[in-house]
Structures are given as structure tokens and as C-alpha cells.
Structure 1
Amino acid sequence: MPDMKKFVGSFLIGGAVLSGAGLYAAHAAENEQDITARGAYLATAADCIACHTRPGGKPFAGGLKIATPQGDVISTNITPDREHGIGDYTEADFEKALRHGVRKDGAYLYPVMPYVSYAGMTDQDIKALYAWFMHAVRPVAEKPPATQLSFPGNIRASMMAWNLLAGSEKQETGDSASYDKLRRGHYLATALEHCGTCHTPRNFMLVEKQDQYLAGAALDGWYAPNITPSETGGIGDWSEDDLVTYLKTGRIKGRSQAAGPMAEAVEHSTSHLTDEDLHALAAFIKQVPSHEDDKDHKARDSFGKAADNPDLRSGTLTRIDNLSEKSGAEIYDGNCAACHGQDGKGTANQYVPSLYSNSVVGSERPDNLIMTIVYGVDRTTPSDHASMPGFGYRSDVQRLSNDEIARLVNYVTATFGSGDHHITSEQVAKARTDHLEKMVSHVIVKTSGKSE
């Protein structure tokens, strides 16, 4: 509450003070603005836009396909449109959906909506989030297609049993903005950013294994790595400042750069958090129980050195009709060396990162390296933009075959990372999923990422 003398003084107009009724209205408007601004920040921290905006679509209008073992769940319109969105939701309806996964009509939501995590939000924050969605988001009169899953997922009532097995975060109380550092970090990680949704492995019922919190999990072709403080399998060699820099920019020299789903999380969410919140989040992650990894037994960013290879280019033009005969080194030379260098050092400012001391190249799991080569990197934060072309496609045309990508991955990991993993074209084919539409529309999503 502001000092009353200063508050009244700020409304002096021509020597006259606003009436008591005017003061009350102005103060109420100020409170409403504060609540709405808080809601906007919470929506960013919760990364609502990531799932509720389809490629090329309008913000929060839904339509994004989210893959599950029983089919695609299609995200819903959560704009305040009364017919197609949540415009007729009361605050109680909103809270029930957010914390308990139950829609206004009583139907159960699928747990791709992280209500298990959002259950931990405070009443105050849910109120602010509701105010923002209802008063600051533009309504969109679009109805996404209905989700059609195979049995038993097509029976929404089956989610009752799943909810009992999964449990949920314990609801926090009080003003979350006033929490001490570790409590605030816990709140951000579990209730808002829902880090465990991607980074925690799941059992056969797709319930998070809480005894392996943040120990790493497969994610639609990518792999959300172990981010516990393990010195070998996790990020125990990262400092709190390292983690803050990564969450804020998507990059940390000599360690890693964000791509795929993590790049989206950085772009739309963590890069917009305050430094205080980023330090709280990092401090909490740094003190969760450490878990060793079943494959990574050495810090992923500790592998490799600059290559001391002769330049493969002869200076003469040689016609090669059958590209499948090219070695991994030749594929690297023709597609990667211009940016990453023959020695793999990258650029001096590390805009193009080195390929050694690189957690993606040093991982025993090649998933993220394969996906990065296929789909590239396109990440924008308030501080900069990072871009790498995808070599799986060029416009609508395949650029490198599965076999070429496999040989390239094996060369890169053998030369700069954790060794030749003997990746096959079949493994690359399996890792590829239909993300072409998403790639083509990604710029549109970025430019329409704010509510209007």
C-alpha cells in the first residue's frame, strides 16, 4: 500500500484534490492493473502460449497437436471468447480446470495440460492469472478440432483413476512474490515452469517418477537431459550463474545451447523472468537430490578438443554424383565446416558454438544432436537471436538423407564428443517426426506470440 500523503499528492489537479470517490476509483484501477500485470507475468512463467498456440495460429486460440501414445491431444482455445474459448468461465471454473483438470462442463482434461503442477499455485496467483486471461487477452472465435484418442484414452472419465495415481503438487499459500529464495525457486520449478513435466522420467502409466525428479526423459524425438546436480550424469559442474545465463539467453559458452522444446521454453518463458526469479529457480535446481544417469557417466560438456585435421578441400572441383559415397568427414566439410570450422571451434564469440565442450555432442544419447541437425535452431530472446539451418529439409525438399545424417552424427561425436555411436539411417528415420509444418510456421508464431 503506497504512502497516503504521496498517493493523494499525486492526484493534485490545479490545486484541487480528487474527491474521495475519485480516489477510491483510481486506487481500484491501480490495483486491477497490478493484478493483471501479475497475471501476465505468471502466464509467461507458466509458458501457457507454448501449448495453446498452433503454428501460424493466433495467441492462445489452441489447435496445437501434442503427441501421446494414444494419439494427438489437440490443445483448446483459452482466449476469453464466450463460445469457443473460456469467456464464460467463472474464477471457480478456471481454478477447477487449472488445479484439478476438470472443464466447466465436468469433463476431465488430459494431463498434457500440466494441472498436476499448476495445483501448487496460490489462490492469489490463480486470481491474477484469471484476470489477465479475461481482460488482457484478445478473444478469438475459433474452435480447434476435437481430440480423438484410442481406447482407453477416448474415455475421459478414465482420467479419474490416472489422477489418483499421479497425485499433484501441494497447494502453496500466502503471497508467492514474498517467498524466500529457495521457496520461490521451488514454486517456480514445480508449480509454474513445471520442469518435471519434461525432465522427469515416467512409468508405464505415464506418471512422473518422483523418486527420479529431473533425472531426464525422452521427449518427442528429443531428450530432456538429467538436470540434477550429478557431477557426471547431470549439471553438477554448472554454477548457479551458469544456469541463470542459460535460462536467460539459451546459451552458455563451453557447455550448451538450447534447441527444440527447450529453446521454446527459453524463448517464451525463462528469458522473460526477472534475474531474481532466475537465481531462485537455479538455486532450487542446484539443490534437488542428485541422480546418476544410466548412460552418461561423465559430464556431457567435458568431452573433446579442437580437431587437428588437415583441410579436406583440394581447391579443385570434383564431380560426385553419388553423395551416399561421401564419408562423415566430407559431409561435415560440405555442410558444417563453414560455420563451426574444420577444427570445430565455432566462432570467436561462440555465436556458432564449439562442437567440443558441448553437452549435446558429449552426451551418450545422440537424440538431440540428430534432431538439431535435422531441424536446426531458431531461438529468439530479448538479448539476441540464434539460428542454425536444418539439414533434414531445405524448404520442402530433403537436404541430407537419413544415411548422410547418420554418418555426420557419427563423425561429429567421434571427432569432438563421446565417441562414434554407430548411428544408423534407421535410427535417424525413427527420430524424425513431422515437424516441417512447425518449422515453416515458426516465424509466424514468434511474431504473434503476444496477446493483442
Structure 2
Amino acid sequence: MKMKLTRTLIASGLLAGMSALPAAAADDLVKQGEYISRLGDCGACHTIPGKPAFSGGLAIESNLGTIYSTNITPDKEHGIGKYSEQQFSDAVRKGVLPDGKRLYPAMPYPDYAKISDADMHALYVYFMQGVKPSAEQPPETDLSFPFSQRWGMRFWNWAFTDDKPFRPIGGASAEVNRGAYLVESLGHCGSCHTPRGIGMNEKALDSGDEKFLAGGSLNGWEVPSLRGLPHWTEQETVDYLATGRNDKAAVGGEMTSVVEHSTSWMTDADLKAISAYLKFLGGNPPAPAKAAEAVSATEAKLTAAKSLTTGERLYLDNCGACHFVTGKGAPRIFPELDGATIVNAGDPTGLIHTILAGAQQPSTAKAPSTLAMPGFAARLSDDEVAQLATFIRQGWGNKADAVSEKQVREVRETLKH
């Protein structure tokens, strides 16, 4: 009887039947939905500082222009309070609003399409019963022609999305498949870590394609591949997602918000499942062995502090106190520079941006301290930043290309906006 009632609720999209459930069961469903909203990172895009939760208004910069997130509180005029459960599901999974209006894929509905019916039901109940209504009216998204013609998204969806439910990986453990479900659906990790095609579409939507999670680019930052994570142990991945730091790295860029609003709230079991799934994928070769002579030579020269290049001198003056002459930093405090992905990326934008603007690790339940790196935009010229970045990219075991003054100037310009 209980199963029939649940199915009726899902099919009808009405919450009136919730009154027939015990109060404790209804509360549990709201709590489950709240956790699922964390898994989906809904708050990161639909909440901005100083405004009510989920009331929208975040400006999302894209190649098409600025897209503003919407109010997804249960307010009946400005939010989603009039949505039936089916309409809510269509918006989340298909990017289609009740009036037929099409969402842009800044809303990751190509990934959310794999969310299970049970999780979608709990998510709907949470937004209708657990979120406070807000009458905030976010700015309207107004892209230039032809991108303003949302009806065209119908054809984009036909070409680039897949409405099939999540498909477990045959032969994989229950833990790996739980991780696969979280990564491929609610976590929408592929929206950043999968390369984009000619239509700005994700080239793959699940582990059945080797391009899935093979790395990409976001706002000029090179986004690393997550396949196998050969440089990290499974526990280091768990630590990074839970706290924004591990023994080798610290979070930066867009990932800072993901850790703050989503992964740091996940259960240990779910974090371990994600880590196990990423290791299961494989696809990345092990890190090449570092030339011990080059590592020792950099360390020895910085220690002696004689006949330094401009880049080496700038490193000692500005970076050495935290990252040390070894480039190893301090575990869980200051990240490694020797072998770091952001340092060795083909596109140095991420490293340049970090040097200019600094970075701050989020405060999480398991790591409440907010360690910050200062920005050096006011202290260093474009030429100095270029020489510093070049040294970091070529010191120790790093073997990346030099950075030009022009590249630094272009990144500095973006900071003004």
C-alpha cells in the first residue's frame, strides 16, 4: 500500500498526500531531499551572498553571454511554487519549463537526466516543503541573436543529450556503481571535466566513452582529467573533496565553490564511492619519473641563493616561505608546486590567475580554517609575474612552457571585470 501511495505521489506531482505520511517520515524525506540538493550543488548557482537561499541571480559567464540563475524557491509568482512534480522533473532532467521555454545548458540537465525517480521525488519535496519562499526577481537572461532564440535548444537537445536513465557498470562493485551514479548524474562532474564539442556540448556523458572526464577548459583554466587520478591515492581524493585540500594540493578556481557547497557535505561513504569510481575508470598513464638531478639542482640553487635568475629571486622573495625551496609546500596547508597539475597545464591561465589574485581554501566541517594565499597583482609587474611563473613551470621536475608577458597582461585584464 505504501509503495502504491509513493507511486501515486510521483505520478501526480501533488504534495497533499504527504499529510497521510507520519510526520517523521515526511521530515526524513525533506532531509533526504536536502542532501540530494547538496549532491547536485544546487545552492552554488542559485544562491548569492546577501540574498535568500535558492532565490537566484548568480551571473554565469559563458561564450554566449551572461546567463542569470533563476529563483527556485517555492514562491508561486517568482519561483517554482506552481510546478507539479512532473514539471519540476522536466525542468531538471530535460531543461524544459512548464510554459515550454527551454533552459540553456548552463543548467546541467544533460547530466541531471540520469537522476533516479526516488531522488527526484525527494528533491521536489525538499524544495516545496523545506525551502523558504522568496519573492526575489533575478535579472532576466538576455543573450544576443541568435542565442536569444531558445526554441533552437530543442534541436541542440536532440543532437547532444541522452534521456536514458543511469546504467550501472556491469561487473563493477556496488561502491563503484554508487560513485558512477553520483558523478554522472547529480555531481555533473562531466560538465567541467569532459571536453566540449563544436556545439559546446559535453563530448561524452558516461563512462562508456573514454572522453568522459578526460579534461577540458573552463573560462581559460585548463581542467584536469579525472580518469584514474594516478597522482593521488583514493584517500587523497576523499580528503580533497571533503576539505578542499590533501597532502599534495589545495582547491582553486571554480572547484572551490563545489567543495564549499557540495562535496564537503557528502557522507564518507559517498566520497569513498566517488573516489573508487574515478580510480576504476583508469585511462591516465602514471606520472613520469622525475629527474632527481633536476629536482636537486633547483633545491640547491634556491638554498644557496647565488647567481639567481629574476624568476628564482622572485620565488624566494614571494613564495619560498610557504612552498619552500623544495617546492613541496606543507601537507594539507600549502600545496605542492613540484608536479602540480595547475603548474604543468598546457594553458598557464590558472597559475597566472592564482599568482595575481591569490586563492582561499573554503571553510568546511572537517577543515574549518580558511587558509589564504595573497594575490600579487599590485606588487608584481606583468614581466615579473611571467618570469616567476616560468621558473615555477620549469623548476624541480616541472617541464612546462615559458609564460609570456602578454599572457599575464591578458589575465590581468580579466580581473578588472
Q: What SS does the corresponding residue of 1:113 show, helix, strand or coil?
A: coil
Residue deviations 1:98-152 (CA, integer Å, cap 9, x gap): 1110112210000010111111111111111111112222222211111111222
Deviation of the 1:299 alpha carbon: 8.0
Partner of residue 416 from structure 1, selected from 387, 396, 403: 396
Match of 1:376 in 2: 358
In structure 2, the partner of 1:355 is 337
Q: Secondary structure at the match of 2:227?
A: coil
| Amino acid of the structure 2 residue aligned with 1:344 | G
String of CA shifts for 1:241-281, please: whole Å, max 9, x gaps: 2222221222221x322111112211211111111111111
Counterpart of 2:115 in 1: which secondary structure? coil
Corresponding position of 1:58: 52
**Corresponding residue SS for 1:252:** coil
| C-alpha deviation, 1:387, in angstroms | 2.5
Identity among equivalent pairs (%): 39
Alignment partner of 1:403 is 2:383: yes
Map 1:231-380 onto structure 2 (within 5 A): 235-253=229-247, 255-288=248-281, 290=283, 298=288, 304=295, 307-310=299-302, 327-347=310-330, 349-378=331-360, 379-380=362-363
Out of 94, 101, 108, the position equivalent to 2:88 is 94
Displacement after TM superposition at 1:359 (Å): 3.2
Ranges in structure 2 where 5+ consecutive residues have no aligned partner: 1-17
Which amino acid in the other structure matches residue 99 of structure 1?
R
- Aligned residues of 1:79 and 1:137 also touching (Cα < 8 A): yes
2:202 match: secondary structure: coil
Residue of structure 1 equivalent to 2:10 = none
Note if 1:227 corresponds to 2:207.
no
The 2-side partners of 1:146 and 1:61 are apart by 13
* SS of structure 2 residue aligned to 1:66: strand
Within a 5 Å distance, the mapping from 1:148-163 to structure 2 comes to: 148-163=142-157
* Structure-to-structure mapping, 1:116-195, within 5 angstroms: 116-168=110-162, 170-172=164-166, 180-195=174-189
Residues 188-197 or 327-336, more deviating: 327-336
Change (3 A) 1:49 1:192: same
- Residues 386 and 76 (structure 1 numbering): CA distance in 2 closer, same or farther, change over 3 Å? same
Distance 1:141 1:435 in 2: 32
- Write out per-residue CA displacement over residues 20-77 of structure 1, whole angstroms, 9 at most, x where no aligned residue: xxxx979611111111010010000110111112354432121111122121111111
Distance 1:130 1:434 in 2: 38
Name the SS for the 2:343 alignment partner: coil
Q: Distance in 1 between matches of 2:116 and 2:125?
A: 14
Amino acid at match of 2:355: I
Q: Which has the higher contact order (CA 8 A, sep 6+)?
A: 1
**Structure 1 Cα separation of the partners of residues 193 and 129 of structure 2:** 33
Cα distance in 1 for partners of 2:412, 2:40 equals: 28
Q: CA RMSD in A?
A: 3.0
- Is contact 1:55-1:64 (8 Å) kept? no
Aligned to 1:30: 24
Q: How far does the alpha carbon of each residue in 1:275-324 deviate from its partner, in whole angstroms, 9 at most, with x for none?
A: 111111111112225157xxx98489x9946722356889xxxxxxxxxx
| Whole-Å separation in 1 of the counterparts to 2:69 and 2:280 | 34
Q: Which amino acid in structure 1 is aligned with residue 312 of structure 2?
A: A
CA distance in 2, matches of 1:408, 1:56: 37
**Structure possessing the higher radius of gyration over alpha carbons:** 1
Matched, 1:203 2:194: no
**How big is the shift at 1:433?**
6.4
Q: Is the 8 A contact 2:222 2:346 kept in 1?
A: no
SS where residue 299 of structure 2 aligns? coil
2: distance between equivalents of 1:59 and 1:136?
11
Query: Aligned equivalents of 2:19 and 2:201: distance in 1?
Result: 48
SS in 2 for 1:73: strand
Distance 1:403-1:62 versus aligned 2 partners, 3 A rule = farther
Preserved contact between residue 377 and residue 386 of structure 1 (Cα < 8 Å): no
CA distance in 2, matches of 1:279, 1:41: 16
1:136 corresponds to which letter in structure 2?
G
CA 1:284–1:309 in structure 2 vs 1: closer, same or farther (change >3 Å)?
Answer: same
Over 3 Å counting, the alpha-carbon distance change for 1:433 and 1:154 in structure 2 is farther
Match status 1:217 vs 2:210 = no
For residue 185 of structure 2, give the secondary structure of its aligned residue in structure 1: helix
Task: Quickly say closer, same or farther: Cα 1:311–1:299, change in 2 above 3 A.
Answer: closer
* 1:169–1:281 distance in 2 versus 1, CA, 3 Å: farther
Report deviation, 1:425.
Answer: 2.2
Residue pair 2:221, 2:347 contacting (<8 A) in 1 also? no
Q: Which residue of 2 aligns with 1:15?
A: none
Change (3 A) 1:209 1:25: closer
Residues 73 and 286 of structure 1: CA distance in aligned 2, closer, same or farther (over 3 Å)? same
Alpha-carbon distance, 1:358 to partner = 3.0
Q: Aligned partners of 2:25, 2:413: CA distance in 1, in Å?
A: 47
Sort the Cα spacing of 1:311 and 1:166 in 2 relative to 1 into closer, same or farther, 3 A: same
SS of alignment partner, residue 80 of structure 1: coil
1:169, distance to aligned residue in structure 2 (A)? 5.2
Match of 2:67, SS? Answer: strand
* Aligned-partner Cα distance in 2 for 1:433–1:382: 35
Paired amino acid for 1:307: E
Q: Give 3-state SS (helix, strand or coil) of 2:217's partner.
A: strand
Query: Which deviates the most, 415-424 or 212-221?
Result: 415-424
Is 1:65–1:73's contact at 8 Å kept on the other side of the alignment?
A: yes
Provide the TM-score with structure 1 as the length reference.
0.77
Question: Take 2:305 and 2:233, find their aligned partners in 1: how far apart are those partners?
Answer: 41
**TM-score normalized by structure 2?**
0.83
How far apart are 1:197 and its partner, in Å?
A: 0.4
Distance 2:19 2:397 in 1: 63
Pair 1:182–1:353, CA change in 2 (3 A): closer
What SS does the aligned partner of 2:395 have? Answer: helix
